[in-house]
Chain A
Protein backbone atom coordinates (compact mmCIF):
# COMPACT_ATOMS: atom_id res chain seq x y z
CA UNK A 1 0.00 0.00 0.00
CA UNK A 2 1.16 3.52 -0.72
CA UNK A 3 0.48 6.54 1.49
CA UNK A 4 0.71 10.20 0.52
CA UNK A 5 1.49 12.72 3.27
CA UNK A 6 1.03 16.39 2.30
CA UNK A 7 2.85 18.83 4.55
CA UNK A 8 3.24 22.54 5.07
CA UNK A 9 6.12 24.67 6.29
CA UNK A 10 4.80 27.19 8.81
CA UNK A 11 6.05 29.63 11.43
CA UNK A 12 7.14 27.56 14.42
CA UNK A 13 4.26 27.24 16.92
CA UNK A 14 6.37 28.64 19.76
CA UNK A 15 7.26 31.85 17.92
CA UNK A 16 5.45 35.06 18.86
CA UNK A 17 4.24 36.43 15.55
CA UNK A 18 4.36 40.07 14.44
CA UNK A 19 1.95 41.68 12.04
CA UNK A 20 3.70 43.82 9.39
CA UNK A 21 3.16 47.54 9.87
CA UNK A 22 1.71 47.99 6.38
CA UNK A 23 -1.02 45.45 7.15
CA UNK A 24 0.06 43.18 4.28
CA UNK A 25 0.58 40.10 6.41
CA UNK A 26 2.59 38.51 9.18
CA UNK A 27 6.40 38.77 9.34
CA UNK A 28 7.89 35.46 8.13
CA UNK A 29 11.40 36.62 7.16
CA UNK A 30 14.10 35.57 9.66
CA UNK A 31 11.53 33.76 11.75
CA UNK A 32 11.97 30.16 12.86
CA UNK A 33 9.92 27.86 10.64
CA UNK A 34 9.02 24.20 11.08
CA UNK A 35 6.76 21.42 9.85
CA UNK A 36 3.12 22.12 10.72
CA UNK A 37 2.55 20.15 13.98
CA UNK A 38 -0.56 18.38 12.67
CA UNK A 39 1.42 17.24 9.60
CA UNK A 40 4.16 15.86 11.88
CA UNK A 41 1.47 13.71 13.46
CA UNK A 42 0.30 12.56 10.02
CA UNK A 43 3.90 11.66 9.11
CA UNK A 44 4.35 9.76 12.39
CA UNK A 45 1.18 7.76 11.76
CA UNK A 46 2.35 6.86 8.24
CA UNK A 47 5.70 5.68 9.62
CA UNK A 48 3.93 3.49 12.18
CA UNK A 49 1.88 1.90 9.40
CA UNK A 50 5.08 1.16 7.52
CA UNK A 51 6.68 -0.33 10.63
CA UNK A 52 3.70 -2.66 10.89
CA UNK A 53 4.00 -3.53 7.19
CA UNK A 54 0.55 -2.16 6.48
CA UNK A 55 2.04 0.26 3.99
CA UNK A 56 5.17 -0.18 1.92
CA UNK A 57 5.76 3.31 0.59
CA UNK A 58 5.47 6.81 2.05
CA UNK A 59 5.52 9.82 -0.27
CA UNK A 60 5.76 13.26 1.32
CA UNK A 61 4.70 16.29 -0.68
CA UNK A 62 4.97 20.01 -0.01
CA UNK A 63 3.91 23.00 -2.08
CA UNK A 64 5.60 26.38 -1.75
CA UNK A 65 8.91 28.22 -1.70
CA UNK A 66 12.33 26.56 -2.05
CA UNK A 67 12.64 26.28 1.75
CA UNK A 68 9.78 23.77 1.77
CA UNK A 69 12.51 21.29 0.83
CA UNK A 70 13.85 21.57 4.41
CA UNK A 71 10.49 20.35 5.63
CA UNK A 72 10.59 17.49 3.13
CA UNK A 73 14.16 16.54 4.17
CA UNK A 74 12.86 16.38 7.71
CA UNK A 75 10.08 14.05 6.54
CA UNK A 76 12.64 11.87 4.75
CA UNK A 77 14.75 11.75 7.92
CA UNK A 78 11.71 10.68 9.88
CA UNK A 79 10.98 7.81 7.49
CA UNK A 80 9.38 8.96 4.24
CA UNK A 81 10.70 7.04 1.20
CA UNK A 82 10.51 9.84 -1.30
CA UNK A 83 9.52 13.47 -1.43
CA UNK A 84 8.00 15.78 -3.98
CA UNK A 85 8.40 19.53 -3.88
CA UNK A 86 6.06 21.58 -6.03
CA UNK A 87 7.82 24.90 -6.23
CA UNK A 88 5.96 28.19 -6.29
CA UNK A 89 6.29 31.62 -4.68
CA UNK A 90 2.55 32.22 -4.95
CA UNK A 91 0.52 32.31 -1.78
CA UNK A 92 -2.16 29.69 -2.27
CA UNK A 93 -5.47 29.03 -0.56
CA UNK A 94 -6.77 25.62 0.54
CA UNK A 95 -8.90 25.11 -2.61
CA UNK A 96 -5.86 25.69 -4.84
CA UNK A 97 -3.69 23.45 -2.66
CA UNK A 98 -6.39 20.77 -2.79
CA UNK A 99 -6.41 20.97 -6.60
CA UNK A 100 -2.63 20.54 -6.72
CA UNK A 101 -2.83 17.61 -4.31
CA UNK A 102 -5.59 16.10 -6.44
CA UNK A 103 -3.15 16.25 -9.36
CA UNK A 104 -0.43 14.63 -7.21
CA UNK A 105 -2.86 11.90 -6.10
CA UNK A 106 -3.84 11.20 -9.69
CA UNK A 107 -0.21 10.91 -10.80
CA UNK A 108 1.09 8.99 -7.75
CA UNK A 109 -2.01 6.87 -7.07
CA UNK A 110 -1.78 6.48 -3.29
CA UNK A 111 -4.15 4.10 -1.47
CA UNK A 112 -4.55 6.53 1.37
CA UNK A 113 -3.77 10.19 2.09
CA UNK A 114 -3.10 11.37 5.63
CA UNK A 115 -2.55 15.04 6.51
CA UNK A 116 -2.94 17.55 9.32
CA UNK A 117 -6.45 18.74 10.17
CA UNK A 118 -5.31 22.35 9.89
CA UNK A 119 -2.24 24.50 9.38
CA UNK A 120 -1.38 26.64 12.38
CA UNK A 121 -0.82 29.74 10.25
CA UNK A 122 -4.04 30.16 8.23
CA UNK A 123 -6.09 28.00 10.65
CA UNK A 124 -8.41 27.06 7.77
CA UNK A 125 -9.12 23.38 8.43
CA UNK A 126 -10.25 22.82 4.83
CA UNK A 127 -7.64 21.20 2.59
CA UNK A 128 -8.21 17.53 3.52
CA UNK A 129 -11.97 17.80 3.13
CA UNK A 130 -11.63 19.66 -0.18
CA UNK A 131 -9.16 17.11 -1.50
CA UNK A 132 -11.51 14.26 -0.59
CA UNK A 133 -14.36 16.04 -2.38
CA UNK A 134 -12.31 16.68 -5.53
CA UNK A 135 -11.15 13.06 -5.67
CA UNK A 136 -14.64 11.76 -4.84
CA UNK A 137 -13.12 9.89 -1.90
CA UNK A 138 -14.60 9.53 1.58
CA UNK A 139 -13.03 11.47 4.43
CA UNK A 140 -12.24 10.89 8.07
CA UNK A 141 -11.42 14.20 9.70
CA UNK A 142 -9.99 14.99 13.17
CA UNK A 143 -8.76 11.42 13.67
CA UNK A 144 -7.54 10.43 17.11
CA UNK A 145 -7.27 6.70 16.44
CA UNK A 146 -6.84 4.76 13.20
CA UNK A 147 -6.96 1.02 12.71
CA UNK A 148 -6.71 -0.94 9.44
CA UNK A 149 -9.49 -3.53 9.32
CA UNK A 150 -8.23 -4.98 6.01
CA UNK A 151 -6.66 -3.73 2.77
CA UNK A 152 -9.89 -1.97 1.84
CA UNK A 153 -11.19 -0.50 5.06
CA UNK A 154 -10.01 1.61 7.99
CA UNK A 155 -11.75 2.28 11.26
CA UNK A 156 -11.26 5.85 12.46
CA UNK A 157 -12.16 7.41 15.80
CA UNK A 158 -12.92 11.09 15.26
CA UNK A 159 -12.88 13.90 17.80
CA UNK A 160 -16.21 15.69 17.61
CA UNK A 161 -17.72 18.38 19.84
CA UNK A 162 -19.82 15.98 21.90
CA UNK A 163 -17.05 13.40 22.43
CA UNK A 164 -15.86 10.71 20.01
CA UNK A 165 -17.31 9.16 16.88
CA UNK A 166 -16.16 5.93 15.23
CA UNK A 167 -16.59 5.42 11.50
CA UNK A 168 -15.58 2.76 8.99
CA UNK A 169 -14.17 4.22 5.79
CA UNK A 170 -13.34 2.42 2.56
CA UNK A 171 -10.05 3.07 0.79
CA UNK A 172 -8.92 5.13 -0.96
CA UNK A 173 -9.72 7.90 1.52
CA UNK A 174 -8.39 11.10 3.06
CA UNK A 175 -7.69 11.19 6.79
CA UNK A 176 -6.89 14.38 8.73
CA UNK A 177 -5.13 14.17 12.06
CA UNK A 178 -5.98 15.56 15.45
CA UNK A 179 -3.31 16.24 18.07
CA UNK A 180 -4.15 13.19 20.09
CA UNK A 181 -3.48 10.67 17.34
CA UNK A 182 0.12 10.06 18.37
CA UNK A 183 3.35 11.52 19.75
CA UNK A 184 5.68 12.30 16.84
CA UNK A 185 9.29 11.07 17.09
CA UNK A 186 12.49 13.00 16.50
CA UNK A 187 14.70 11.98 13.61
CA UNK A 188 17.85 10.06 14.63
CA UNK A 189 21.15 11.51 13.42
CA UNK A 190 22.02 8.57 11.11
CA UNK A 191 18.61 8.95 9.53
CA UNK A 192 19.23 12.65 8.90
CA UNK A 193 22.40 11.63 7.04
CA UNK A 194 20.57 8.92 5.11
CA UNK A 195 17.76 11.33 4.22
CA UNK A 196 20.21 13.34 2.12
CA UNK A 197 20.47 10.40 -0.27
CA UNK A 198 16.74 9.78 -0.53
CA UNK A 199 14.94 11.02 -3.65
CA UNK A 200 13.53 14.55 -3.44
CA UNK A 201 11.96 15.52 -6.72
CA UNK A 202 11.44 19.19 -7.47
CA UNK A 203 9.03 20.45 -10.07
CA UNK A 204 7.60 23.86 -10.86
CA UNK A 205 3.92 24.40 -10.17
CA UNK A 206 3.52 25.43 -13.82
CA UNK A 207 4.37 21.86 -14.91
CA UNK A 208 1.04 20.71 -13.51
CA UNK A 209 -0.71 23.03 -16.00
CA UNK A 210 -3.49 23.60 -13.47
CA UNK A 211 -5.77 26.64 -13.60
CA UNK A 212 -5.46 28.17 -10.16
CA UNK A 213 -7.29 31.47 -10.32
CA UNK A 214 -8.55 32.80 -6.99
CA UNK A 215 -11.51 35.07 -6.40
CA UNK A 216 -10.49 35.68 -2.82
CA UNK A 217 -8.02 38.32 -1.63
CA UNK A 218 -6.67 39.28 1.75
CA UNK A 219 -7.14 43.05 1.97
CA UNK A 220 -5.64 43.70 5.39
CA UNK A 221 -3.98 41.89 8.28
CA UNK A 222 -4.07 43.47 11.71
CA UNK A 223 -3.11 42.54 15.25
CA UNK A 224 -5.92 41.80 17.73
CA UNK A 225 -7.26 44.68 19.79
CA UNK A 226 -5.24 44.82 23.02
CA UNK A 227 -7.04 43.98 26.27
CA UNK A 228 -6.97 46.69 28.88
CA UNK A 229 -4.29 46.20 31.52
CA UNK A 230 -5.34 43.90 34.34
CA UNK A 231 -5.03 44.28 38.08
CA UNK A 232 -3.13 42.07 40.49
CA UNK A 233 -5.05 41.37 43.69
CA UNK A 234 -3.91 40.38 47.17
CA UNK A 235 -6.40 37.74 48.21
CA UNK A 236 -9.70 35.99 47.65
CA UNK A 237 -11.78 38.68 49.37
CA UNK A 238 -10.43 41.32 46.96
CA UNK A 239 -11.21 39.00 44.08
CA UNK A 240 -14.75 38.40 45.30
CA UNK A 241 -15.26 42.14 45.72
CA UNK A 242 -14.09 42.74 42.14
CA UNK A 243 -16.23 39.99 40.61
CA UNK A 244 -19.35 40.60 42.68
CA UNK A 245 -19.49 44.37 43.24
CA UNK A 246 -17.52 45.85 40.34
CA UNK A 247 -17.97 43.47 37.41
CA UNK A 248 -21.18 41.87 38.70
CA UNK A 249 -20.37 38.52 37.09
CA UNK A 250 -20.93 36.49 40.27
Chain B
Protein backbone atom coordinates (compact mmCIF):
# COMPACT_ATOMS: atom_id res chain seq x y z
CA UNK B 1 0.00 0.00 0.00
CA UNK B 2 1.51 3.30 -1.11
CA UNK B 3 1.63 6.14 1.39
CA UNK B 4 2.70 9.42 -0.08
CA UNK B 5 3.89 12.55 1.70
CA UNK B 6 4.31 15.94 0.02
CA UNK B 7 6.40 18.65 1.65
CA UNK B 8 4.53 21.95 1.40
CA UNK B 9 6.35 24.90 -0.13
CA UNK B 10 5.25 28.38 0.78
CA UNK B 11 6.42 31.90 0.20
CA UNK B 12 5.28 34.93 2.19
CA UNK B 13 2.51 32.94 3.87
CA UNK B 14 1.13 31.48 0.64
CA UNK B 15 1.33 27.98 -0.81
CA UNK B 16 3.32 28.05 -4.05
CA UNK B 17 1.87 26.88 -7.40
CA UNK B 18 4.80 24.43 -7.65
CA UNK B 19 3.63 22.72 -4.45
CA UNK B 20 0.03 22.50 -5.73
CA UNK B 21 1.34 20.76 -8.86
CA UNK B 22 3.38 18.36 -6.73
CA UNK B 23 0.23 17.29 -4.87
CA UNK B 24 -1.29 16.38 -8.26
CA UNK B 25 1.80 14.27 -9.02
CA UNK B 26 1.52 12.60 -5.60
CA UNK B 27 -2.10 11.66 -6.27
CA UNK B 28 -0.99 9.86 -9.44
CA UNK B 29 1.15 7.52 -7.31
CA UNK B 30 -1.64 6.77 -4.87
CA UNK B 31 -5.16 8.14 -4.96
CA UNK B 32 -4.44 10.26 -1.95
CA UNK B 33 -1.58 11.83 -0.04
CA UNK B 34 -0.60 13.56 3.16
CA UNK B 35 1.07 16.94 3.42
CA UNK B 36 3.78 18.19 5.78
CA UNK B 37 3.80 21.90 6.54
CA UNK B 38 6.92 23.33 8.17
CA UNK B 39 6.81 27.05 8.94
CA UNK B 40 7.20 29.63 11.68
CA UNK B 41 3.41 30.08 11.68
CA UNK B 42 1.55 27.04 10.38
CA UNK B 43 -2.16 27.60 11.14
CA UNK B 44 -3.19 29.43 8.00
CA UNK B 45 -1.06 27.27 5.67
CA UNK B 46 -2.27 24.07 7.30
CA UNK B 47 -5.95 24.93 6.92
CA UNK B 48 -5.35 25.75 3.25
CA UNK B 49 -3.58 22.41 2.73
CA UNK B 50 -6.40 20.60 4.53
CA UNK B 51 -8.80 21.78 1.83
CA UNK B 52 -6.83 20.39 -1.10
CA UNK B 53 -8.41 17.54 -3.11
CA UNK B 54 -7.25 14.05 -2.11
CA UNK B 55 -5.23 15.28 0.85
CA UNK B 56 -6.22 13.04 3.77
CA UNK B 57 -4.05 14.43 6.54
CA UNK B 58 -1.94 17.52 7.13
CA UNK B 59 0.95 17.24 9.55
CA UNK B 60 2.48 20.42 10.87
CA UNK B 61 5.63 21.50 12.61
CA UNK B 62 6.15 25.04 13.76
CA UNK B 63 9.32 26.71 15.03
CA UNK B 64 10.59 30.28 14.92
CA UNK B 65 13.69 29.20 12.96
CA UNK B 66 11.43 28.41 9.98
CA UNK B 67 10.96 32.00 9.06
CA UNK B 68 13.92 30.88 6.92
CA UNK B 69 13.92 27.44 5.38
CA UNK B 70 17.44 26.11 5.91
CA UNK B 71 18.03 22.61 4.54
CA UNK B 72 19.67 21.28 7.71
CA UNK B 73 16.60 22.18 9.77
CA UNK B 74 13.95 21.08 7.26
CA UNK B 75 15.66 17.71 6.80
CA UNK B 76 15.58 17.12 10.55
CA UNK B 77 11.77 17.50 10.65
CA UNK B 78 11.12 15.51 7.46
CA UNK B 79 13.34 12.65 8.65
CA UNK B 80 11.39 12.36 11.88
CA UNK B 81 8.32 11.05 10.02
CA UNK B 82 9.67 9.36 6.86
CA UNK B 83 9.17 5.83 8.23
CA UNK B 84 5.40 6.30 7.84
CA UNK B 85 5.65 6.67 4.05
CA UNK B 86 6.64 4.88 0.84
CA UNK B 87 7.07 8.08 -1.18
CA UNK B 88 8.32 11.55 -0.18
CA UNK B 89 7.78 14.34 -2.73
CA UNK B 90 8.70 17.99 -3.05
CA UNK B 91 8.73 20.37 -5.99
CA UNK B 92 12.06 20.65 -7.76
CA UNK B 93 12.37 24.33 -7.00
CA UNK B 94 15.46 25.71 -5.26
CA UNK B 95 13.57 24.93 -2.03
CA UNK B 96 13.09 21.23 -2.84
CA UNK B 97 16.44 20.75 -4.56
CA UNK B 98 18.21 22.07 -1.49
CA UNK B 99 16.96 19.76 1.25
CA UNK B 100 15.57 16.63 -0.48
CA UNK B 101 18.97 15.07 -1.37
CA UNK B 102 19.94 15.60 2.29
CA UNK B 103 16.88 13.63 3.32
CA UNK B 104 17.53 10.90 0.74
CA UNK B 105 21.20 10.46 1.70
CA UNK B 106 20.37 10.24 5.40
CA UNK B 107 17.81 7.54 4.58
CA UNK B 108 20.47 5.86 2.40
CA UNK B 109 18.23 5.92 -0.68
CA UNK B 110 18.69 7.30 -4.19
CA UNK B 111 16.67 10.33 -5.18
CA UNK B 112 14.96 10.94 -8.52
CA UNK B 113 15.15 14.59 -9.51
CA UNK B 114 12.77 16.58 -11.69
CA UNK B 115 10.25 13.82 -12.36
CA UNK B 116 7.98 14.75 -15.29
CA UNK B 117 5.91 11.58 -15.56
CA UNK B 118 4.62 9.05 -13.09
CA UNK B 119 4.31 5.68 -14.81
CA UNK B 120 3.44 3.76 -11.64
CA UNK B 121 4.55 3.66 -8.00
CA UNK B 122 8.00 2.35 -8.99
CA UNK B 123 8.56 3.79 -12.47
CA UNK B 124 9.16 7.41 -13.30
CA UNK B 125 10.36 9.53 -16.18
CA UNK B 126 12.80 12.43 -15.95
CA UNK B 127 14.71 14.64 -18.39
CA UNK B 128 18.51 14.41 -18.79
CA UNK B 129 21.00 16.38 -20.92
CA UNK B 130 19.06 19.62 -20.56
CA UNK B 131 15.82 18.00 -21.72
CA UNK B 132 17.40 16.57 -24.88
CA UNK B 133 16.60 13.07 -23.68
CA UNK B 134 14.27 11.43 -21.18
CA UNK B 135 15.07 8.44 -19.00
CA UNK B 136 12.64 5.99 -17.49
CA UNK B 137 13.79 4.90 -14.07
CA UNK B 138 12.66 1.95 -12.02
CA UNK B 139 13.29 2.26 -8.28
CA UNK B 140 13.02 -0.40 -5.60
CA UNK B 141 14.09 1.84 -2.74
CA UNK B 142 11.96 1.26 0.34
CA UNK B 143 11.30 4.99 0.59
CA UNK B 144 11.17 6.75 -2.76
CA UNK B 145 12.40 10.32 -2.58
CA UNK B 146 11.33 12.36 -5.62
CA UNK B 147 11.43 15.96 -6.68
CA UNK B 148 8.80 16.90 -9.23
CA UNK B 149 8.98 19.30 -12.16
CA UNK B 150 5.95 21.43 -11.45
CA UNK B 151 5.32 22.51 -15.05
CA UNK B 152 4.61 18.89 -15.99
CA UNK B 153 1.57 18.68 -13.69
CA UNK B 154 -1.52 20.83 -13.21
CA UNK B 155 -2.32 22.40 -9.85
CA UNK B 156 -4.52 20.40 -7.43
CA UNK B 157 -7.95 21.91 -6.83
CA UNK B 158 -9.75 22.63 -3.56
CA UNK B 159 -12.61 20.81 -1.91
CA UNK B 160 -15.30 21.86 0.56
CA UNK B 161 -14.42 19.81 3.58
CA UNK B 162 -11.09 19.99 5.38
CA UNK B 163 -9.11 16.96 6.50
CA UNK B 164 -7.46 16.35 9.84
CA UNK B 165 -4.51 18.48 10.96
CA UNK B 166 -1.98 16.97 13.34
CA UNK B 167 1.06 18.49 15.02
CA UNK B 168 4.32 16.55 14.94
CA UNK B 169 5.90 15.84 18.31
CA UNK B 170 9.63 16.27 17.89
CA UNK B 171 12.58 17.22 20.05
CA UNK B 172 14.04 19.76 17.68
CA UNK B 173 17.06 21.99 17.87
CA UNK B 174 17.99 24.23 14.94
CA UNK B 175 21.41 23.68 13.38
CA UNK B 176 24.14 25.85 14.85
CA UNK B 177 26.32 25.30 11.80
CA UNK B 178 24.28 27.55 9.52
CA UNK B 179 22.91 30.98 10.25
CA UNK B 180 20.56 32.89 8.02
CA UNK B 181 21.69 36.48 7.45
CA UNK B 182 19.44 38.14 4.89
CA UNK B 183 17.46 37.76 1.71
CA UNK B 184 17.06 40.02 -1.27
CA UNK B 185 13.78 39.47 -3.03
CA UNK B 186 12.93 41.92 -5.77
CA UNK B 187 9.32 43.15 -5.58
CA UNK B 188 7.18 41.40 -8.20
CA UNK B 189 4.76 43.58 -10.09
CA UNK B 190 4.05 40.94 -12.74
CA UNK B 191 2.91 37.29 -12.65
CA UNK B 192 5.47 34.88 -11.23
CA UNK B 193 7.55 33.33 -14.03
CA UNK B 194 7.08 29.61 -13.36
CA UNK B 195 3.30 29.82 -13.05
CA UNK B 196 2.54 32.54 -15.65
CA UNK B 197 0.18 31.71 -18.54
CA UNK B 198 2.08 34.02 -20.86
CA UNK B 199 5.75 34.92 -20.93
CA UNK B 200 7.62 37.47 -23.02
CA UNK B 201 11.37 36.81 -22.97
CA UNK B 202 14.26 38.90 -24.21
CA UNK B 203 17.80 37.97 -25.17
CA UNK B 204 21.09 39.49 -26.17
CA UNK B 205 19.41 40.97 -29.23
CA UNK B 206 17.84 43.67 -27.07
CA UNK B 207 21.26 45.25 -26.73
CA UNK B 208 20.79 47.06 -23.41
CA UNK B 209 18.89 47.23 -20.13
CA UNK B 210 17.18 50.34 -21.51
CA UNK B 211 15.91 48.49 -24.58
CA UNK B 212 14.73 45.62 -22.39
CA UNK B 213 11.90 47.95 -21.30
CA UNK B 214 10.32 47.21 -24.70
CA UNK B 215 9.89 43.61 -23.53
CA UNK B 216 8.42 44.77 -20.23
CA UNK B 217 5.91 47.01 -22.01
CA UNK B 218 4.67 44.16 -24.21
CA UNK B 219 4.50 41.89 -21.15
CA UNK B 220 2.39 44.46 -19.31
CA UNK B 221 -0.11 44.82 -22.17
CA UNK B 222 -0.42 41.02 -22.21
CA UNK B 223 -0.44 40.61 -18.40
CA UNK B 224 2.52 38.34 -18.99
CA UNK B 225 5.65 37.54 -16.98
CA UNK B 226 9.04 38.72 -18.21
CA UNK B 227 11.78 36.19 -18.90
CA UNK B 228 15.31 36.41 -20.22
CA UNK B 229 18.02 34.26 -21.74
CA UNK B 230 21.26 33.70 -19.90
CA UNK B 231 22.99 36.04 -22.36
CA UNK B 232 20.66 38.88 -21.36
CA UNK B 233 21.25 38.19 -17.68
CA UNK B 234 25.02 37.94 -18.08
CA UNK B 235 25.03 41.19 -20.03
CA UNK B 236 23.31 42.78 -17.03
CA UNK B 237 20.05 43.72 -18.80
CA UNK B 238 17.93 42.08 -16.08
CA UNK B 239 18.45 40.38 -12.68
CA UNK B 240 19.21 36.67 -12.78
CA UNK B 241 15.91 35.46 -11.35
CA UNK B 242 14.43 36.35 -14.77
CA UNK B 243 16.49 33.64 -16.40
CA UNK B 244 14.68 30.88 -18.26
CA UNK B 245 16.76 27.80 -19.02
CA UNK B 246 18.42 24.69 -17.75
CA UNK B 247 20.27 26.69 -15.11
CA UNK B 248 17.43 29.13 -14.50
CA UNK B 249 13.69 28.55 -14.34
CA UNK B 250 11.80 25.85 -16.23
CA UNK B 251 8.56 27.24 -17.64
CA UNK B 252 5.68 25.92 -19.72
CA UNK B 253 3.17 28.74 -20.33
CA UNK B 254 0.38 28.77 -22.94
CA UNK B 255 2.28 31.43 -24.87
CA UNK B 256 6.03 32.05 -24.91
CA UNK B 257 7.32 34.93 -27.01
CA UNK B 258 11.11 34.83 -27.48
CA UNK B 259 12.53 38.11 -28.70
CA UNK B 260 16.15 38.48 -29.78
CA UNK B 261 16.95 35.02 -28.38
CA UNK B 262 19.00 32.73 -30.63
CA UNK B 263 17.83 29.56 -28.89
CA UNK B 264 20.88 27.96 -27.25
CA UNK B 265 20.29 24.39 -25.94
CA UNK B 266 20.54 25.86 -22.44
CA UNK B 267 17.60 28.21 -23.02
CA UNK B 268 15.44 25.79 -24.98
CA UNK B 269 15.66 23.26 -22.13
CA UNK B 270 13.81 25.78 -19.99
CA UNK B 271 10.89 26.62 -22.28
CA UNK B 272 10.38 24.02 -24.99
CA UNK B 273 7.31 22.57 -23.28
CA UNK B 274 5.43 25.85 -23.76
CA UNK B 275 2.17 25.35 -25.66
CA UNK B 276 2.70 28.03 -28.31
CA UNK B 277 6.19 29.40 -28.98
CA UNK B 278 6.69 32.58 -30.99
CA UNK B 279 10.18 33.63 -32.09
CA UNK B 280 11.09 37.12 -33.22
CA UNK B 281 14.68 37.34 -34.48
CA UNK B 282 16.57 39.07 -37.25
CA UNK B 283 18.63 35.95 -38.03
CA UNK B 284 16.52 33.49 -40.07
CA UNK B 285 19.05 30.75 -39.21
CA UNK B 286 18.62 31.16 -35.44
CA UNK B 287 17.96 27.73 -33.85
CA UNK B 288 14.95 29.13 -31.97
CA UNK B 289 12.97 28.98 -35.26
CA UNK B 290 13.31 25.18 -35.25
CA UNK B 291 11.11 24.88 -32.19
CA UNK B 292 8.89 27.94 -32.72
CA UNK B 293 5.27 27.47 -33.79
CA UNK B 294 5.33 30.92 -35.32
CA UNK B 295 8.40 32.78 -36.47
CA UNK B 296 8.90 36.35 -37.53
CA UNK B 297 12.21 37.39 -39.09
CA UNK B 298 12.99 41.05 -38.72
CA UNK B 299 14.31 43.90 -36.63
CA UNK B 300 12.83 43.64 -33.15
CA UNK B 301 13.01 47.42 -32.72
CA UNK B 302 10.48 47.75 -35.58
CA UNK B 303 8.43 44.70 -34.67
CA UNK B 304 7.99 45.27 -30.93
CA UNK B 305 6.27 48.69 -31.13
CA UNK B 306 3.94 47.32 -33.85
CA UNK B 307 3.16 44.32 -31.67
CA UNK B 308 2.46 46.48 -28.64
CA UNK B 309 0.13 48.63 -30.72
CA UNK B 310 -1.67 45.59 -32.16
CA UNK B 311 -2.21 44.02 -28.73
CA UNK B 312 -3.41 47.37 -27.39
CA UNK B 313 -5.91 47.68 -30.28
CA UNK B 314 -7.25 44.22 -29.50
CA UNK B 315 -8.05 45.12 -25.91
CA UNK B 316 -10.12 48.18 -26.89
Contact = CB atoms under 8 A, between A and B. Distances in A.
Q: Please indicate whether A and B come from the same complex rather than being unrelated chains.
A: yes
A11 B132 CA distance: 13
A23 to B, nearest CB: 9
A221 to B, nearest CB: 5
B154 interface: no
Interface in A68-126: 93-95, 98, 120-126
A249 B275 contact: yes
B135 interface: yes
Chain A binding surface, main DSSP class = mixed
Contact of B102 (A129, A163, A215): A129
Contacts of B314: 240, 244, 250
Contacts of A132: 102
A239 B130 CA distance: 29
Contacts of B191: none
A96 to B, nearest CB: 8
B102 to A, nearest CB: 4
Interface string B124-148: 0001111111111111110000000
B133 A222 contact: yes
A219 interface: yes
Contacts, number: 249
A224 interface: yes
Nearest to B140: A215
A175 to B, nearest CB: 12
Contact of A155 (B141, B181, B222): B181
Contacts of A122: 128
A174 to B, nearest CB: 10
A159 interface: yes
- Contact size range, B: 35 or more
B255 A166 contact: no
B241 interface: yes
A193 interface: no
B110 A17 contact: no
Given A19-B133, A218-B137, A138 B101 contact: no
A233 interface: yes
A190 interface: no
A189 to B, nearest CB: 28
B183 A240 contact: no
Given A120-B246, A216-B110, A17 B105 contact: no
Interface size class of A (residues with CB under 8 A): 35 or more
Given A214-B110, A230-B289, A169 B246 contact: no
Contacts of A17: 129, 132-133
Contact of B129 (A120, A128, A231, A242): A120
A133 interface: yes
Interface in B161-211: 175-186, 194, 198
A19 B128 CA distance: 11
Contacts of A139: 71-72, 98, 102, 178
B249 A216 contact: no
| Most A-side CB within 10 Å, residue of B101, B127, B132, B278 | B101
B282 to A, nearest CB: 13
Most B CB contacts (10 A, CB to CB) among A128, A164, A223 go to A164
A214 B90 CA distance: 22
Contact of A231 (B94, B241, B254, B294): B294
B164 to A, nearest CB: 30
A236 B134 contact: no
B139 A215 contact: yes
Contacts of B266: 13
A237 to B, nearest CB: 7
A68 B237 CA distance: 38
Interface in B293-310: 293-298, 303, 306-307, 310
B141 A216 contact: yes
A130 interface: yes
A142 B94 contact: yes
Interface string B86-116: 0000000111011111111110111111100
30 contacts: A11-B129, A121-B128, A122-B128, A123-B128, A123-B246, A130-B101, A133-B102, A133-B105, A138-B72, A160-B94, A161-B93, A161-B95, A163-B184, A163-B185, A165-B180, A167-B178, A167-B181, A173-B177, A216-B141, A219-B138, A223-B134, A224-B127, A230-B291, A235-B306, A240-B307, A240-B310, A240-B311, A243-B278, A244-B314, A250-B255
Given A236-B303, A236-B310, A250-B255, 14 more contacts: A123-B127, A124-B113, A126-B104, A129-B105, A133-B75, A134-B106, A139-B178, A160-B94, A166-B181, A166-B182, A168-B178, A222-B133, A230-B289, A232-B297
